[in-house]
Amino acid sequence: MNCVTSYGTGTPPAVPRVLRAGGLSAELEDGAVRAVRWHGVEILRGIGYLVRDTGWGTLPATLSNLLIEESGEAFAVSFEGAVAGGFTYRAEIRGDAAGRLSFEVTGEASAALETCRTGFVVLHPIEGVAGEPVEVEHADGGRETTRFPRLVSPGQPIFSIRSLTHAPVPGVRAVCAFEGDVFEMEDQRNWTDASFKTYVRPLALPTPYTIAAGTRLTQAVRLEVDGRPETVPAQAADGIGVTVGRALDRTVPPVGTGIDWQCIPERAEPGIGFLVARLGDVEALRAYGALARQAGAELFLELPLECREPPEVELAEIARRIEAARAEVAGVTVAPAAYLKSYQPSGPWPDVPAFAEVYRAARAAFPGVRVGGGMHSFFTELNRARPPAEGLDHVSFTTSPIVHAADERSIWESLESLPFVMETARSFCGDTPIRVGPSAIGMRDNPYGKGPVDNPGNGRIAMARRDPRQRGGFGAAWYLGYAAALAYEGAASIALGALEGDFGMVGAPAGAVLRALAEARGARLREVSVTGSRAVAGIAWDGPGGPVLWLANGSAEPVRVRVAGGGVVEVPACAAVPAIP
């Protein structure tokens, strides 16, 4: 496999070391524990120890002195880590066949460390967990029974945690205990992570904070699992199968792309469903309009309002600017620019005009133009500042899968969260159409810091604007899976990446995905079911000559897929291909 072709970088992905002790297994990868399973059932998605900088970026740790011991009935791991700025730590991981796993870390700051979080994060998966009961032991010793939220929680669903007890599947009980600090939980589906995250240090406390020189921190996570699953998880012994099912009362939505204001191309070829651009000066608006005409595409504008003047005054000036540029605009999405930053549900909130006032002013400034609300930032911000959807032509938000982690597994797993995201959006948007994007692997904006993280080495960096997978086959596979999930959940439109630049689709493998989906606009969707692999995603629709099926393989190995009634299809590693053209 060519890493550059697959991932846009010559650095291969990390290969985890699988640790086993009887029915307990865990994967060790770059100092973190992933995929903790008991008799094949995923109990925890991950346990990691990390240091966040003042902008919530994760500081890389240099690991050394790794020692691994395994006996079949138990395993033990130890290593040391060092983070730039003078923070070092020693970690010990132990597991045994009785279903016990521990991860202990002692860290020390040799110099004052400015951080937004230093300590453990523990991830519970969402499948079979969302909406299910959990028993919470709080830091004061009190206990309560509640539920992991079904809909995506805008704030922390559980506070002050000492332990969490739940049944991952019938017949199995898991207790996860936390030591060394006060832990709480957030719903990471807000950022399309497929997990509930329990983390150290409550968000109600000020950030960033200082760990003084000479401070020692000791924390631990301890898991105990007992029982046996009543049903053994399905195995892929029979290979990967795909079935194209019945026609749905739903069509392929319009699929388009963005225009990156940092890289406005000179030309755009026909075949792109629509374009989305952020408000610029008259020259930029003129270029947007020209690109839309060349592509034969509708142009939608994001209008972040500075709110230095009343909305009707600011929007009237914007309308004059658009008219001066002779740009034909099909729709606008308006929101105060303050909401390009994130705010906790408990506040404080920015002092800006109410959404309803902004929407009324937009209607007056743009007669005959579709007016939308929502956020130009992420679903997180939409979920926390839910606009009144009545009377809007659409509600919008975007996503990026690398807010918290930037490895291929985490990016691919983000597809699991999209049905929950859409279900939650629908719960407060009602029947108002939901337009998603422009969304990319990389981050256009950083609502949680000064800006996206620099990535001069072309690495796998969380919160980076420029991500190497954008230019690789993995990006094409992920974009197909992303669009498929949203299409089946009823998104009114989906904008992927941008024409050119850091999020460029044109000339990248993902460009073929964009064009195929754009051309299928309005075609009736068909059910697609995949068995035998979580790494394969698909979308199907009725074409002129019968069903059309596209498949995506997000894994590092090629796969053979049995298509019911269509034979066997070879899907290369990190690729999206037409399986039934």
Question: Given this model, what pLDDT does residue 85 score?
Answer: 87
Question: Given this model, what pLDDT does residue 235 score?
Answer: 54
Burial of 202 (0-12, 13-18, 19+ CB in 10 A): middle
Domains of the chain: 15-227 (2.70.98.10), 236-250+522-581 (2.60.40.1180), 253-520 (3.20.20.80)
Regions of the chain short of the pLDDT cut 50: 236
Amino acid residing at 573: A
What are the structure tokens assigned to 380, written together? 């997180």
Which residue spans within 157-239 are E strands per DSSP?
158-166, 172-179, 183-187, 195-200, 209-211, 216-227
CB 530 within 8 A of CB 562: no
Question: Given this model, what pLDDT does residue 347 score?
Answer: 80
Taking the whole predicted model, whether its pTM rises above 0.85 is answered as: yes
Three-class SS state of 331: strand
The torsion angles phi and psi of 213, rounded to 5 degrees, stand at -55, 135
